[in-house]
Amino acid sequence: MKAEQFETRMLLNGRLCEAEGAERPVFAPATGTQIATIRDANLEQVEAAVHAAREAFSGWATRTPVDRAAYLLTLASIAEKNGEILATLEQLDTGKPYKQVLTEEIPMVADVFRFYAGAIRTVHTQAAGEYLEGFTSYLRRDAIGRNISFHFEICRTGRQYSASGCFEYRARSGGGGWCTI
């Protein structure tokens, strides 16, 4: 890979743009040769990146687990599809053997994305946000430690504990009605 083949622009709020800070050379550690010149972001660009990240978080936080998982699975596929390019870049940047990066590290990168795609489907309540769009997840832990999880909006009634230790909830996911557990 030649230096002019490297993408050295930065990604800011979904768009590639030229960094406006100081220039710095990039050297291949295995050979000591300069392989590229990059620029740092300036203060305004850093602030714009932080602002964009904060804006993006609110949208990401409200996505359902299935949506989040789909994004992570897409990233895993992209890593595998571009494994040779990524392995070349990693070899140049770190001096690691190309074959090791291609056959060991790239598959692990894809596996990490797939692991978290599956893991997000098992997270409950506040960490998962809405499990199904339009329905609020709720996790109730009673004194005994049992978990009662509902994937629709629920409303606890005045009769929290009865003599039998039951909980009474009213489901408000369209049908209404009572559910005693």
pLDDT tens sequence across 123-156: 655 554 555 566 555 544 444 444 444 333 333 3
Q: Which tokens go with 13?
A: 């709020």
Residues 75 and 114 in one domain: yes
Domain count, the chain: 3
Residues 83-90 have a mean pLDDT of 92
Residues 107 and 139 in one domain: no
Q: Which of 122, 148, 168 is the last residue of a domain?
A: 122
- Write down the pTM of the prediction: 0.63
Residues 115 and 154 in one domain: no
Residues 32 and 82 in one domain: no
pLDDT tens sequence across 8-39: 899 999 899 999 999 999 898 989 999 888 99
Query: Range with the lowest mean pLDDT among 49-58, 61-70, 87-96, 163-172?
Result: 163-172
pLDDT bucket at 43, cuts 50 / 70 / 90: very high
Only one residue has tokens 């504990």, namely 161
What's the sign of the alpha-carbon dihedral 155, 156, 157, 162?
Answer: positive
Does position 112 have pLDDT exceeding 80, yes or no?
Answer: yes
Q: Indicate the SS3 state at residue 11.
A: strand
Quote the domain boundaries for residue 162. Answer: 126-180
Q: Which tokens go with 24?
A: 């710095």
Of 168, 162, 163, the C-alpha closest to 180 is: 168
Of 163, 68, 45, the C-alpha closest to 120 is: 68
Residues 73 and 50 in one domain: no
Residues 134 and 87 in one domain: no
What's the rounded Cα separation, in Å, for the pair 25 and 38? 6
Residues 142 and 99 in one domain: no
Of 133, 139, 178, the C-alpha closest to 159 is: 178
Q: Which of 62, 83, 109 is the last residue of a domain?
A: 62
> How many residues are there in the chain?
181
pLDDT bucket at 106, cuts 50 / 70 / 90: very high
